[in-house]
Amino acid sequence: MIDFKSIIANEISKVVSINQDEIKKSIEKPKGTENGDYAFPCFRLAKTLKKAPQAIATEIKENIQINENEITKVEVVGGYLNFFVNKELLAKEVLQEMANAEEYGKSAIGNGKNIVIDYSAPNIAKPFHIGHLRSTVIGAALYKIYKYLGYNVTGINHLGDYGTQFGKLIEGYKLWGNEYNIEENPIDELTKIYIRINQACKEDEQILENCRNNFKKLEDGDPYCVELWQKFRELSLKEFQKVYDLLGSKFDSWNGEAFYSDKMSEIVEILEKSGKLIESEGAKIVDLEDKGINTPCIIEKSNGSSTYATRDLAAIMYRARTYDFDKALYVTSYEQVLHFKQIFEVAKFLGLDEKYTNVLEHVSFGMVLLPTGKMSTREGTSVKLLDLLNEAISRAKLIIEQKNPELENKDEVAKRVGVGAVIFNDLANNRVKDEIFDWDTILNFQGETGPYIQYTYVRTKSVIEKAGGVPQVSTVDSKLLQDEYSIKLLKLIYDFEDVLVQVTDKNEPSILSRYLIDVAKAYSNFYNENKIINEDKELQDARVYLTYSVGKILSIGAGLLGIEMPERM
Ligand code: ARG
The answer to whether the beta carbons of residues 93 and 1 sit under 8 Å apart is: yes
Q: If you measure from the C-alpha of residue 461 to the centroid of ligand 1, how many angstroms do you get, rounded to a whole number?
A: 41
355's CB contacts (< 8 A; 6+ apart) are 326
Q: If you measure from the C-alpha of residue 138 to the centroid of ligand 1, how many angstroms do you get, rounded to a whole number?
A: 14
The answer to whether the beta carbons of residues 236 and 186 sit under 8 Å apart is: yes
CA dihedral 133, 134, 135, 136 (to 10 degrees): 50
Any idea which of 274-288, 383-397, 439-453 has the lowest mean pLDDT? 383-397
Mean pLDDT of 236-264: 95
CA-nearest residue for atom 5, ligand 1, is: 121
Angle of the 410-427 helix axis to the 510-529 helix axis, nearest 10: 120
What is the rounded CA–CA span in Å between residue 448 and residue 427? 11
Q: If you measure from the C-alpha of residue 256 to the centroid of ligand 1, how many angstroms do you get, rounded to a whole number?
A: 9
Q: If you measure from the C-alpha of residue 118 to the centroid of ligand 1, how many angstroms do you get, rounded to a whole number?
A: 8
CA-nearest residue for atom 4, ligand 1, is: 122
Per-residue model confidence (pLDDT) at position 216: 87
- Strand partners for 494: none
Phi and psi of 365, rounded to 5°? Answer: -140, 160
Mean pLDDT of 355-376: 84
Mean pLDDT of 418-439: 94
Residue 197 Cβ < 6 Å to ligand 1: no
Question: What is the SS3 assignment for 16-56?
Answer: CCCCHHHHHHHCECCCCCCCCCEEEECHHHHHHHCCCHHHH
Instruction: List pLDDT tens digits, range 132-190.
Output: 999 999 999 999 999 999 999 999 999 999 988 899 999 999 999 999 999 988 999 99
Residue 332 Cβ < 6 Å to ligand 1: yes
Global pTM exceeds 0.75: yes
The answer to whether the beta carbons of residues 383 and 375 sit under 8 Å apart is: yes
Q: How far is CA 145 from the centre of its chain?
A: 8
Residue 311 Cβ < 6 Å to ligand 1: no
**Catalytic residue positions, numbered:** 126, 129, 132
Q: If you measure from the C-alpha of residue 568 to the centroid of ligand 1, how many angstroms do you get, rounded to a whole number?
A: 39
Question: What is the SS3 assignment for 280-312?
Answer: ECCEEEECCHHHCCCCCEEEECCCCCECHHHHH
Per-residue model confidence (pLDDT) at position 51: 92
Q: For residue 374, name the pLDDT band (cuts at 50, 70, 90).
A: low
The answer to whether the beta carbons of residues 286 and 297 sit under 8 Å apart is: yes
Any idea which of 216-220, 342-346, 489-493 has the lowest mean pLDDT? 216-220
Q: For residue 380, name the pLDDT band (cuts at 50, 70, 90).
A: very low
Q: For residue 436, name the pLDDT band (cuts at 50, 70, 90).
A: confident
What is the rounded CA–CA span in Å between residue 301 and residue 280? 10
Q: Which atom of ligand 1 is nearest to the CA of 160?
A: 1
Pocket perturbation via mutation, ligand 1, pick of 135, 158, 346 by most ligand atoms within 8 A of CB: 158
DSSP state letter for 415: H
| Burial category of 7 from C-beta neighbours within 10 Å (exposed 0-12, middle 13-18, buried 19 and up) | middle
Per-residue model confidence (pLDDT) at position 378: 44
Instruction: List pLDDT tens digits, range 23-44.
Output: 999 999 998 889 999 999 999 9
What is the rounded CA–CA span in Å between residue 461 and residue 568? 8
The answer to whether the beta carbons of residues 357 and 145 sit under 8 Å apart is: no
What is the rounded CA–CA span in Å between residue 154 and residue 436? 31
- Res. 236: pLDDT tops 60: yes
Neighbours of 338 (CB within 10 A): 13
Neighbours of 441 (CB within 10 A): 14
Residue 134 Cβ < 6 Å to ligand 1: no
170's CB contacts (< 8 A; 6+ apart) are 211, 214, 215, 218, 225, 228, 229
Residue 319 Cβ < 6 Å to ligand 1: no
Average pLDDT of the chain, as a whole number: 94
Q: If you measure from the C-alpha of residue 311 to the centroid of ligand 1, how many angstroms do you get, rounded to a whole number?
A: 10
What residue type is assigned to position 356 of the chain? Answer: Y
Q: For residue 372, name the pLDDT band (cuts at 50, 70, 90).
A: low
Strand order in the sheet with 283-286: 277-280, 283-286, 297-300
**Side-chain half-sphere CA neighbours of 214 within 13 A:** 26
Per-residue model confidence (pLDDT) at position 373: 59
Phi and psi of 290, rounded to 5°? Answer: -70, -10
Instruction: List pLDDT tens digits, range 106-132.
Output: 999 999 999 999 999 999 998 888 889
- Res. 456: pLDDT tops 80: yes
Mean pLDDT of 353-363: 98
Which of 135, 136, 123, 133 lies closest to 165, judged by CA? 123
What is the rounded CA–CA span in Å between residue 221 and residue 215? 10
Per-residue model confidence (pLDDT) at position 368: 87
- Res. 375: pLDDT tops 60: no
Share of the chain above pLDDT 70, in %: 98
Mean pLDDT of 199-211: 96
Q: For residue 306, name the pLDDT band (cuts at 50, 70, 90).
A: confident
Residue 330 Cβ < 6 Å to ligand 1: yes
- Res. 377: pLDDT tops 80: no
CA-nearest residue for atom 11, ligand 1, is: 312
- Strand partners for 153: 115
**DSSP H helical segments within 64-220, as ranges?**
87-97, 130-148, 164-176, 186-203, 205-219
Residue 121 Cβ < 6 Å to ligand 1: yes
Residue 300 Cβ < 6 Å to ligand 1: no
Biggest alpha carbon–alpha carbon distance for the chain = 86
Q: If you measure from the C-alpha of residue 132 to the centroid of ligand 1, how many angstroms do you get, rounded to a whole number?
A: 9
Per-residue model confidence (pLDDT) at position 129: 85
Q: If you measure from the C-alpha of residue 157 to the centroid of ligand 1, how many angstroms do you get, rounded to a whole number?
A: 9
Residue 327 Cβ < 6 Å to ligand 1: no
- What three-state secondary structure class fits 154? strand
Instruction: List pLDDT tens digits, range 505-551.
Output: 999 999 999 999 999 999 999 999 999 999 999 999 999 999 999 99
Q: For residue 287, name the pLDDT band (cuts at 50, 70, 90).
A: very high
Pocket perturbation via mutation, ligand 1, pick of 120, 126, 306, 336 by most ligand atoms within 8 A of CB: 336
Residue 118 Cβ < 6 Å to ligand 1: yes
